[in-house]
Structure 1
């Protein structure tokens, strides 16, 4: 069982996706330009709901119900890996990575980057830390923006939405209606 820092990958991800002159620059990731991103390699196999997990994105600061010592130990481990507690950590399956094509590797990194977003206040404005002035980051689940960005760059299969596209292209089973504009969940209404 092994986890190790992938500092070269962190630099590469920034150089490829978030820097202004990046060759694969994606404006969807512009908010991450000032983020500190820690990348970890692991050889630990992982599966969720019967599916192989090859990458995860999570906050850099330890989360969850831990006691004071548990949080301190976790913070020390993160600091040992990266020298700091980054805004978020992306963990990648090193065994999968070794056999992945460049396009597959890029798609995985971008997918994980889409899970991080700058937090917003109740008015929809970007949040910043009052003491540091730095952006406040949050986790983002799967949303349509992620699917559009990944599909645009790597195709529908990379986003795992081939079935969704097939359903969208087929005739409706019951009737064609338009209700998404009325849904508070879809439109972020309060």
Structure 2
């Protein structure tokens, strides 16, 4: 269960959040807190689903820039640390330079958090958002479904992960949970939250890209 004295989640600098200029700032304390709270062995809210991230480099950013997509507010995103998408050689070099200036290297993943939302969020909502973004940070799998590791470094090969479930309510209503492949989701919901109830649905920019 949540314990405020145990969590002591970090906060963004108020002067930057309230400033008029667009701001993105590295959040090393948030990165350390996330690993110490959810990932590390013996963490107070340790989740074995994140075990592969123990060797991952995850860069966290605060921002005060409002964001929305498909008419929904975006309060967090997870993305690869290496700039992606179609861009020229200079564009990729500039983007890589910016990432390196933020973190001192190119991390495996970058998680960006809406600092204004974070300041007013409950501990349960904040934890739910961080874990949601961490779930997007996955270890790749080979053609047999086994976790992939780099032959050169022995480290996990990382990739972005979508949701476990994406289905129409009508299919479930007409054909049942097994037909839609969501039996495990329903059982987890019926069991109730292990940590605390929170509402962050449809606020992840990573999800809304689909």
8 Å contact from structure 1 (residues 57, 113) kept in 2: yes
Counterpart of 1:77? 98
Q: Can you list the C-alpha shifts for 1:95-146, whole angstroms capped at 9, x where unaligned?
A: 1011111111111100100111100010111111222221111111111499
Whole-angstrom CA distance in 2 between matches of 1:156 and 1:65:
36
For residue 6 of structure 1, the aligned residue among 21, 24, 27 is 27
| Paired residues for 1:121-160 under 5 Å | 121-144=142-165, 148=188, 152-155=194-197, 157-159=199-201
Whole-angstrom CA distance in 2 between matches of 1:135 and 1:111:
20
For residue 108 of structure 1, the aligned residue among 108, 124, 129 is 129
Whole-angstrom CA distance in 2 between matches of 1:151 and 1:89:
27
In structure 2, the gaps of 5 or more residues are 1-21, 166-181, 203-210
Q: Can you list the C-alpha shifts for 1:125-168, whole angstroms capped at 9, x where unaligned?
A: 111122222111111111149965995444474456xxxxxxxx
Of 127-136 and 3-12, the range deviating more from structure 2: 127-136
For residue 94 of structure 1, the aligned residue among 111, 115, 135 is 115
The CA RMSD measured in Å over matched residues stands at 2.2
SS at match of 2:111: strand
Of 99-108 and 125-134, the range deviating more from structure 2: 125-134
TM-score relative to the length of structure 1 = 0.78
In structure 1, the gaps of 5 or more residues are 161-190
Q: How many residues align?
A: 160
SS at match of 1:33: helix
TM-score relative to the length of structure 2 = 0.71
Counterpart of 1:174? none
Counterpart of 2:51? 30
8 Å contact from structure 1 (residues 151, 159) kept in 2: no
For residue 85 of structure 2, the aligned residue among 56, 64, 75 is 64
